[in-house]
Amino acid sequence: MISRVRRWWAFLREDSGFRAVLIVFLASRLALEVVGWVAGLRVPGGRPPQKFGIPDAPAFLDMWIRWDSQWYLAIAERGYWLRPDGLPMPQAFFPLYPLLVRVLSAATGLSLEAAGLLLANAGFLLGLAAFYRLVEAGWGGDAAVRAGAYLVLFPAGFYFSALYTEGLYFAFVAGAFLFASRDRWREAGLCGMGAALTRNGGVLLAAALAVAYLARRGFSPRRIRRDALWLGLVPAGLVLYMAYLAATTGDPLAYVDAEHRWGRALHPPWVGVAQAVGNIVEPPPPQAGSPHVYHSAYRPPYRRLYSTLDLAAAGLFAFLAVYGVRRRWLPPGEAVFLAASLLTALSAPALQPMTPLPSMWRSVAVLFPGFTVLALLAAERPAVDQVVRVAFPVLQGLFFLLYTTWNWIA
């Protein structure tokens, strides 16, 4: 453990490129603290969607605890429970993050809120370091700095520092591919298992890492070794959660039922896209008066705005996936992860709300191969870099303003 800490310290001390990415991270979070403080004073907002109460945390922490954060805190405090009234159930939220929040809080004496934010940010920084190393090994330091900065400044990138699973999940995903690139399949499998216990999309790493393994073996079945068995740890993570659900609810697929109660169900990926396009093309119905949640995705006057935003996020990463494969900028495993994750997000629309592709910005924020492609594209086309440098931080500030005032964004 001590030797690993020393290696990390040497990495931070000697690699000026990663230090530049860290500076971007710190500057962006400081700027968001200012945005959140001003928004709390001047911007009218919505209401917490759940009746769990608002956390009693200092303002500089409280502004990062919104929406699904309430569920993670409730699970960390009381565990899972059933809601027979037909309302959304907590089983839709996978267990590792709230479990670690509870353990960290108990071990350090920190409040659950502080522990959750510390875990999210620590996970994100570890993932950012792994992502930087991955890009640097393939494309050099300049590309790694640009890709890391783009990820930090992405409009939904503030979720990595919020009391959400994005930071921890990103650490597992980026770590899995970094270990895979070094033929350390036990560690890659363990990271994949962590991802599968953190978010429902984590199990997709099983296919992506399998493709990465085969690519490292020249896609020759004769070169497959016993170390490939470590990749079985990824679906084992989902199996563990299903076993827990079977023991506590009698239904190993209770998380699927919970997703249905949240309005999500499997459909062909074009169904949600078609409804989003329809929301954009068709005039929204009129609504009298000023709604309290004035930018809510669940109010008809704003369905055009939110459908446009969500469709733009999906379209951007669909383009990056296709372009990255076409230019051979993505290793096979990363390409599979990017494509499979994006298709999964598109295939589980929420057809009842005014935006059929909710949380799309959060869904694509963790798809790190897209940022590699964007960085390489920007290196070739300076105009792309200029647009990203301006658009990303401006949109991030706007999105965070909406988020911290309890107005829906992702």
| pLDDT tens digits for range 326-367 | 999 999 999 999 999 999 999 988 766 678 888 899 999 999
Which tokens in the block code for residue 66?
Answer: 């919104």
Strands (E) in 253-391, as ranges, are none
User: DSSP 3-state helix, strand, coil percentages of the chain (rounded to 5)?
Assistant: 70, 0, 30
CB–CB of 28/393 below 8 Å?
yes
The SS3 assignment for 184 reads coil
Q: In this structure, how many other beta carbons lie within 10 angstroms of the beta carbon of residue 19?
A: 14
Q: Which residue's structure tokens are 């490939």? A: 228
The whole-angstrom separation of Cα 28 and Cα 390 is 13
Which tokens in the block code for residue 299?
Answer: 């109010």
CB–CB of 96/196 below 8 Å?
no
Q: In this structure, how many other beta carbons lie within 10 angstroms of the beta carbon of residue 312?
A: 14
Cβ neighbours of residue 368 under 8 Å, at least 6 residues apart? 131, 134, 147, 151, 170, 173, 174, 334
Report domain extents, the chain: 2-404
Strand partners, 350: 264
Query: Quick one: residue 288, left, alpha or beta (phi over 0 = left, psi -120 to 50 = alpha)?
Result: beta
The whole-angstrom separation of Cα 75 and Cα 63 is 20
Query: So what's the pLDDT on residue 291?
Result: 47
DSSP character at residue 283: P
Query: So what's the pLDDT on residue 248?
Result: 85
Q: Which residues of the chain have pLDDT under 50?
A: 289-295
Query: So what's the pLDDT on residue 295?
Result: 47
| pLDDT tens digits for range 364-404 | 999 999 999 999 999 999 999 999 999 999 999 999 999 99
Integer Rg of the chain from CA? 21
Query: So what's the pLDDT on residue 257?
Result: 85
Query: So what's the pLDDT on residue 265?
Result: 80
Query: So what's the pLDDT on residue 261?
Result: 79
